[in-house]
Amino acid sequence: VFHQIPDFTFINQDSLPVTQELVEGKIYVTDFFFTSCPSICPKMSQQMLRIQERFKEEAEVLLLSHSIDPTYDTPEVLSGYAEILEIDSKKWHLLTGNWKDIYNISDEYLAVVAKDSTAPGGYLHSGHFLLVDGNRRIRGAYDGTQAKQVDRLMNDMDVLLEEMLAEGGAP
């Protein structure tokens, strides 16, 4: 039995609510970042852009990036970041919310996220991308700073899409 991600509610870069209903029956990749990150986040964003481009025509694929700095990363800041990176807001949702909900969901994704005054930018977080299936089950974890790992992630996404088509429903 796979662990299932619980219900959630966050706000995206367009100030719209994003809940589990958006990802129902879809494959999605999620990660944790912050826009002022001076270390791994820019590399991760470039790799997410690769995924966005590769699956831009796949309605069954979404990307969710949770900001771990909700005080600074307001929807307006996330919108500006999305504009700079040319993020397709129908495909890739940059999420914010209250501190407790963000950190609780990071635990559900088994992701390392913490405030740390000694870390670059004041936060400690993993660079992993998590592949989640249409039933909100984690199907894989990949180093989002490494192109070869992201290539593997995209191959695994193709497999999940094939499963989804073969089963006529959620992967």
Handedness of CA 141, 11, 7, 67 (dihedral sign): positive
Provide the pLDDT for residue 114: 66
Average pLDDT score over residue span 89-115: 91
Q: Which long-range contacts (CB under 8 A, 24 or more apart) does 48-53 make?
A: 48/92, 48/129, 48/144, 49/85, 49/86, 49/87, 50/147, 50/150, 50/154, 51/129, 51/150, 51/153, 51/154, 51/157, 52/87, 52/88, 52/91, 52/92
Provide the pLDDT for residue 115: 73
Is residue 1 over pLDDT 70?
Answer: no
What is the phi/psi pair of residue 161, to 5°? -65, -40
Report pTM: 0.92
Is residue 124 over pLDDT 70?
Answer: no
